[in-house]
Every structure is written in C-alpha cells, then in structure tokens.
C-alpha cells in the first residue's frame, strides 16, 4: 500500500512539473514552453523547458502576442502598428502618357490624356480628391479653385447662381400668377402661374444637376492634376546613361594610329 502511495505521489509531482511552465505565444501562432526569467518593456528573457540548464533566449515584445504564466495568469501584449517610412521607394505608375505630356502644359491640354479611374495616390501628391469634392459640395466650384482651376470653378459657381436666380424668378411669377388668378380682376393669371412653376422646376433641377456635376468634376480635376504631376516628377528623375565602345584613328606625323575607347552619354 505504501509503495502504491509513493508511486501516486511521484506521478502527481511529475504532472505538476510538466505543467509548471510558462507558455509564450508569438504573433506567428507558435507556442514556446519556457521558464521566463525577465520581462521588460522591449524584450522577454527565458529558458526553454526542454533545456532549462541551457542558454538564455531573448524575444522582442513586438513579436509576442500573449504569455500564459504557470500560476494561471495571462499577459497580453498590444502590438503597435509599424511606422511607415515616408522616404521608402515607391515604384512610379505608368499611365500610358509617355511622349504625350511635357512640362508646362495647361489642364485643358492634358486632361483628356488621363482616365481619373486609373489614378493611384502616391507620396507627394498635392491635391486631395476628397477635399475637392467636399468643397464643391459646400460651394459649387470651390473644389476646382483650390486645385488651381479658378476659371473652371467660377464657371460652376456662375451656373449655380444662374439656377438660383431662375428658381427665384419662377417662384415670383408663380406667386404673382396665383394672386392674379385668385383676385378675379385680371386675366392671364393661370398662364403666368404655370410659367412660374415651370421656371421654378427648371431652375431647381438645374441647380441640383450643376451641384452634382461640380462635385464629380472637382474630384476628377484633383486626380488628373496629381497624375500629371506624377508624370512630371518621373520625367525629372529619369537619367539615361549609355556607355558605348568606339574605334577611331589619330594622325601621328605621316601615319595614322588606330585607337579604341569608351564613350559615356548621360541624358536627364
């Protein structure tokens, strides 16, 4: 009986030893059975449970998801987003405009060469399509103006004002016609009211259409201007280096001596 009791104690102690370990779960999903020695704000020092007397390992906290300690408590490590390097190289986008655009072109000259739906935002883009659309939603034409197309912006603003005026005139005529028709002292009130209602509808529909058009156009203007500026930056950064061998002759007195060399041509 005593032997059986001793065996049970041994088995129980062995099970406790097996579970007396810390578990380090990495962000990759890997579990490490360990004996943690130290936890700092930047790293965790531990020994592997399969070799407790062996070397001490170090793992950065940024690579650890959670640690489950032998006493049953857990410690979760919040992962910080990796910083984006603003100076990292980004491959240029080819919009298929090689040989078609040159520096100094006006928007009206190059806008048909780009498809706004192909736009890819790149570091250094100076115009925001979202900001342009919001500005033209608040004041039609303002989005075009902040992108440098002042004349285009005033055209949309003028169209909106014209629609407002037309709506106001129509509302006035409709009110006057209704008053004349209701007074009974003059004829033509019904026709005047109908004309006023028609002008009011035309002005209201026109104002809505111009407003939507201004928003869409402001977004497209910002995208196209950014695409053109991207092409200009790509052109300015292109350096063509050509190294070519050449063979020639030089005159030395009455004889000509052949010479060979390399020619270097740099185009930028």
Q: Report the range of poorest mean pLDDT among 77-81, 149-153, 256-260.
A: 256-260
Whether 127 and 198 share a structural domain: yes
Within this chain, do residues 132 and 212 fall inside the same structural domain, yes or no?
Answer: yes
Q: Which of 8-17, 38-47, 50-59, 259-268 has the lowest mean pLDDT?
A: 8-17
- Give domain status of residue 107, yes or no: no
User: Tokens representing 16?
Assistant: 């406790």
What pLDDT is recorded for position 133?
Answer: 93
What pLDDT sits at residue 17?
46
Final residue in a domain of this structure, among 59, 76, 93: 76
Percent with pLDDT over 70 in the chain: 74
- Residue 248's DSSP bridge partners are 259
**Beta-strand runs (E) in 54-152:** 57-60, 64-68, 74-76
Q: What is the mean pLDDT of the chain?
A: 81
266 is a domain residue: no
139 and 69 both lie in a single domain: no
- pLDDT tens column, 27-48: 888 889 999 999 998 899 999 9
Q: With respect to residue 130, please indicate whether it lies within any of the assigned structural domains.
A: yes
Q: Summarize the confidence of residues 104-116 as an average pLDDT.
A: 92
Which of 14-23, 115-124, 138-147, 163-172 comes out lowest in average pLDDT?
Answer: 14-23
β-strand pairing of 31-39 with 22-26:
antiparallel
Looking at residue 124, its pLDDT comes to: 82
Residue 203: pLDDT band with limits 50, 70, 90: very high
At 181, list the tokens.
């028709």
The pair of structure tokens assigned to 257 is 């001596």
Total structural domains within the chain: 2
Average pLDDT over residues 45-55: 90
For residues 218 and 130, state if they share a domain: yes
> What pLDDT is recorded for position 201?
94
Q: At 40, which CATH number?
A: 2.30.30.100
135 pLDDT band, cuts 50/70/90, is very high
Helix (H, G, I), strand (E, B), or coil: what is residue 235? helix
**Could you tell me which residue, 88 or 107, shows the higher pLDDT?**
107
In a domain, 103, yes or no: no
Provide mean pLDDT across the span 109-116.
Answer: 93
Residue 45, domain extent:
18-76
Check residue 128 and give its pLDDT.
Answer: 93
Q: Are 67 and 24 in contact (CB under 8 A)?
A: yes
Q: Is residue 9 domain-resident?
A: no
Give the residue among 75, 50, 79, 48 at the shortest CA–CA distance from 63: 79
Cα–Cα nearest to 76, from 84, 58, 64, 85? 64
CB atoms within 10 A of CB 17: 10
Same structural domain, 143 and 204: yes
134 and 205 inside one domain: yes
How big is the chain by its Cα radius of gyration, in Å? 39
Give yes or no: residues 211 and 141 share one domain: yes
In a domain, 237, yes or no: no
CA distance 200 to 165: 9
pLDDT for the residue 192: 83
Please give the Cα distance from 70 to 24 (Å, whole number).
11
Q: Of 234, 240, 242, 233, which Cα lies nearest the Cα of 267?
A: 240
Residue 145 has pLDDT above 50, yes or no: yes
- pLDDT for res 15: 46
What span, in angstroms and rounded, lies between the C-alpha atoms of 233 and 91? 12
181: pLDDT confidence band, cut at 50, 70 and 90?
confident
**What's the pLDDT score for residue 14?**
46
**Domain presence at residue 113:** no
Q: Has residue 126 been placed in a domain? A: yes
- Please check the confidence at residue 185 and state whether its pLDDT lies above 90: no
């Amino acid at each position: 009986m005593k032997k059986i009791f001793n065996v049970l104690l041994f088995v129980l102690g062995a099970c406790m030893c097996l579970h007396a370990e810390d578990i380090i779960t990495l962000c990759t999903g890997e579990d490490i059975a360990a004996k943690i020695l130290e936890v700092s704000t930047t790293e965790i020092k531990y020994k592997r449970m399969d070799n407790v007397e062996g070397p001490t390992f170090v793992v950065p906290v940024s690579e650890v998801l959670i640690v489950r300690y032998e006493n049953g408590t857990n410690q979760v490590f919040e992962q910080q987003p990796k910083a984006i390097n603003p100076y990292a190289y980004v491959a240029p986008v080819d919009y298929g405009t090689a040989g078609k655009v040159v520096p100094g072109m006006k928007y009206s000259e190059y806008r048909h060469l780009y498809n706004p739906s192909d736009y890819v935002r790149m570091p250094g883009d100076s115009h925001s399509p979202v900001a342009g659309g919001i500005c033209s939603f608040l004041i039609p034409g303002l989005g075009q103006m902040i992108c440098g197309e002042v004349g285009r912006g005033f055209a949309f603003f003028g169209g909106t004002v014209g629609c407002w005026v037309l709506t106001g005139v129509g509302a006035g005529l409709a009110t006057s016609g209704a008053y004349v028709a209701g007074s009974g002292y003059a004829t033509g009130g019904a026709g005047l009211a109908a004309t006023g209602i028609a002008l009011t509808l035309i002005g209201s529909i026109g104002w809505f259409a111009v407003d939507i058009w201004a928003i869409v156009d402001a977004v497209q203007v910002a995208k196209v201007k950014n695409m053109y500026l991207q092409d200009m930056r790509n052109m300015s950064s292109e350096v063509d280096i050509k190294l070519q061998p050449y063979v020639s002759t030089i005159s030395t007195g009455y004889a000509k001596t052949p010479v060979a060399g390399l020619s270097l041509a740099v185009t930028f």
